[in-house]
A and B are shown apart, each in its own frame.
Chain A
Amino acid sequence: MRSKLGISALVGLGLLYLSVIFAPFFSPYPYDEDDVLNSYCPPTRIHWVDVKDRKITPYIYGRTVTVDKYYRRIYREDKTKSYRIKFFTRGFKYKILGLWEFERHLFGAEEGKVFLLGADLKGRDIFSRILYGGRISLSIGLIGASISFFIGLLVGGASGYFGGRVDNLLMRLCEMVMMVPSFYLMLALRASFPPNLSSSQVYLLIVVILSFIGWASTARIIRGMAISLRENEFIYAAKAAGLGHFKIIVRHILPHTFSYALVAIVLSIPSYILGEAALSLLGLGIQEPQASWGNLLSSAMGIVNIRLYPWILTPGLFILVTVVCFNVIGETLRDFLDPKRKIL
């Protein structure tokens, strides 16, 4: 039962990553293409039954816009005009994996625009922006978690292996990092860097900040495992043979903690995704026009906007699904690696 759930989560996550890697192919429009005429356009309704041609084929109607007395744009379907949705259509040019130039997209309307998940204030396609934003949100989790695990493993391994004063020092350091509420630490760290950085710099910065916060809890658990491992005779044998401390830690202690580390790495990824979302939501993370799931949600901060244009909340749904998937996979892995242990 558990494994079925785990596999479906894995498949779901795989699909998500695939669609994010090939974001330009799946997205009908560029993520930064402004189209003020379609500001806050609701999700386009897709019709299937073509009465005129007696066929089942996806098509959309044209749109007419009226402005009400509050200057709100009201979109209505114009049934006189219908446009087919075509697959593998030509669109904007892009490079697959940054290598091959390509201009085909999975789908696109003959004429007019198809907004699967609606449009935002500037009339940009939210679906396309979610796919592009996923590139940042989903990769930050992986990279951040790997970096902090690298640090956590080394610090925890060294701390547990050496014990004594080294252990004391490193563990107090860990506690200092853990003691500060992580959200404030995140804000403080972000504040200590200039606000006007380029988007790739901000990206790197966020990764570094998140992994700086994340390593401590890992280090503590790896330390506990290292303490029990270091009393093993094969560690003493390696010591007696003259192997250096670093080599003993890396070759004989850390490999035994890997199965745990793997579980914990997966279970910690959501916190990175949420951390990035939180920073971007506050406008401290990825800046417009670059998309990330966090800054997509930042336009949904006002209650009025959510009431009037509920579709701008969809990036939150993607975050939810991703976080749940990672958690389910982590739990399944843990059961798989150690069916006896119930709590980590």
Chain B
Amino acid sequence: MNLLHTQGLKVYFRHKEKTVKALDGVDIFLAKGITTALAGESGCGKTTLARTILRFQEPCSGKIYFQGKDIALNQNLYLVRKNIQIVFQNPFLSLDPRYTVFASLYETLGVFKRMKKRESKFFINQILRDVELNEDVLYRYPHQLSGGQIQRVCIGRSLINHSALVILDEPTSSLDITTSSKIIRLLERLQQDKAITFLFISHNLKLIKRISQFCFIMYYGKIVEAGPTDLVYNKPLHPYTKLLKEASLLQLKSLPDSEIPEAGCAFLPRCSQRRAECKKGVIKKEAEAGHFAFCNLYK
């Protein structure tokens, strides 16, 4: 049973004459209790997908089902707010600088359950223990904490109301290596303890291999490959995944958006193994169970 799945999700941004297809028919599914990863270079629509799931962005078309319910309906907005939380990339901007850690956590805790400060102490201390923070950070302001500490607070905040799904939008990319590995370890532990579903967004395939069980590779608004992370990492099907794995994006000339072809494979201009039929469209190729790619290479 999937906790969340999307059907043909499309989000277009119109700027004067140009239309940017941030999401162009995205179908993803998040299985309950595991970490699913979403990978791709910056600008490919990962964050837009997260924002759409959180209903910060209305889709042009397509549906999102959470626990079998269509979350585009206003009556299900409560469900989204109660069960889906997000941890952002930049920890320093994720907490209101005017609020102490306690005030931020207390505010979140009080959204669904009215609670006195004294009662809330118990829950807040518990969540602090969960994210391995000392109690003395409680009455500090964000600027008095390190990035790693704030990110822990943010993770704690996302868990405090027992959300079912937490979206981690590059939670470690603005932290240094030691801190980010500690955060990754914390996330792994939290998942084992609490059986939360994570959607881990990252551009780093190695990181994804370590933390996730299933992954989607995204390229300019489209899913190009998906499958169990081990398979995707060890036997990548799509040329883009291979590039990502080698992290040799720097060697490629980066493309302006306008060069993305209107029809056919979006990766075409960069692809070294392009064929004539790629201009028309791509086919879905399933290699092993659950591991598939949208590419014409494996006809």
List chain A positions with a Cβ less than 8 A from chain B.
232-234, 236-243, 251-252, 255-256
Asked if residues A239 and B111 are in contact (CB atoms below 8 Å), the reply is no
Q: Does B108 contact A (CB under 8 A)?
A: yes
Given A241-B111, A242-B112, check contact A233 B94 (CB 8 Å).
yes
- Chain A facing B: main interface SS: helix
Asked if residues B84 and A233 are in contact (CB atoms below 8 Å), the reply is no
Q: Does B149 contact A (CB under 8 A)?
A: no
Q: How far, in whole Å, are A275 and B259 apart by their CA atoms in the complex?
A: 60
Which residues of A sit under 8 angstroms from B93, Cβ to Cβ? 232-234
Asked if residues A241 and B98 are in contact (CB atoms below 8 Å), the reply is no
Asked if residues B94 and A242 are in contact (CB atoms below 8 Å), the reply is no
Which residues of A sit under 8 angstroms from B117, Cβ to Cβ? none
Which residues of B sit under 8 angstroms from A240, Cβ to Cβ? 54, 56, 81, 84-86
- Of the A-B pairs whose beta carbons lie under 8 Å apart in the complex, a sample of 9, sorted by A's number, is A234-B93, A234-B95, A234-B96, A237-B154, A240-B84, A241-B81, A241-B108, A242-B78, A256-B98
Q: How far, in whole Å, are A256 and B85 apart by their CA atoms in the complex?
A: 24
Per-position binary interface string of chain B over residues 85-126, scored 1 when its CB falls under 8 Å from any chain A CB and 0 otherwise: 110101001111110000000011001100000000000000
Give the contacting residue for B96; candidates A239, A242, A252; CB below 8 A: A252
Give the contacting residue for B85; candidates A241, A251, A252; CB below 8 A: A241
List chain B positions with a Cβ less than 8 A from chain A.
54, 56, 78, 81-82, 84-86, 88, 90, 93-98, 107-108, 111-112, 154, 157, 161
Asked if residues B56 and A239 are in contact (CB atoms below 8 Å), the reply is yes
Q: How far, in whole Å, are A120 and B11 apart by their CA atoms in the complex?
A: 75
Q: How far, in whole Å, are A207 and B194 apart by their CA atoms in the complex?
A: 58
The 10 closest A-B pairs by CB, nearest first: A242-B81, A233-B93, A233-B88, A242-B111, A241-B108, A234-B96, A233-B94, A240-B86, A252-B96, A255-B98
Q: How far, in whole Å, are A234 and B95 apart by their CA atoms in the complex?
A: 5
Measured between C-beta atoms, what is the minimum distance from B211 to chain A in Å? 21
Which residues of A sit under 8 angstroms from B108, Cβ to Cβ? 241, 243
Measured between C-beta atoms, what is the minimum distance from A242 to chain B in Å? 3
Q: How far, in whole Å, are A255 and B86 apart by their CA atoms in the complex?
A: 24
Give the contacting residue for B82; candidates A242, A252, A255; CB below 8 A: A242
Asked if residues B107 and A243 are in contact (CB atoms below 8 Å), the reply is yes
Measured between C-beta atoms, what is the minimum distance from A249 to chain B in Å? 13
Which residues of B sit under 8 angstroms from A239, Cβ to Cβ? 54, 56
Name the CB-closest residue of A to B83: A242
Give the contacting residue for B86; candidates A236, A242, A252; CB below 8 A: A236
Q: How far, in whole Å, are A78 and B107 apart by their CA atoms in the complex?
A: 76
Q: How far, in whole Å, are A241 and B82 apart by their CA atoms in the complex?
A: 7
Measured between C-beta atoms, what is the minimum distance from A199 to chain B in Å? 43
Asked if residues A251 and B107 are in contact (CB atoms below 8 Å), the reply is yes
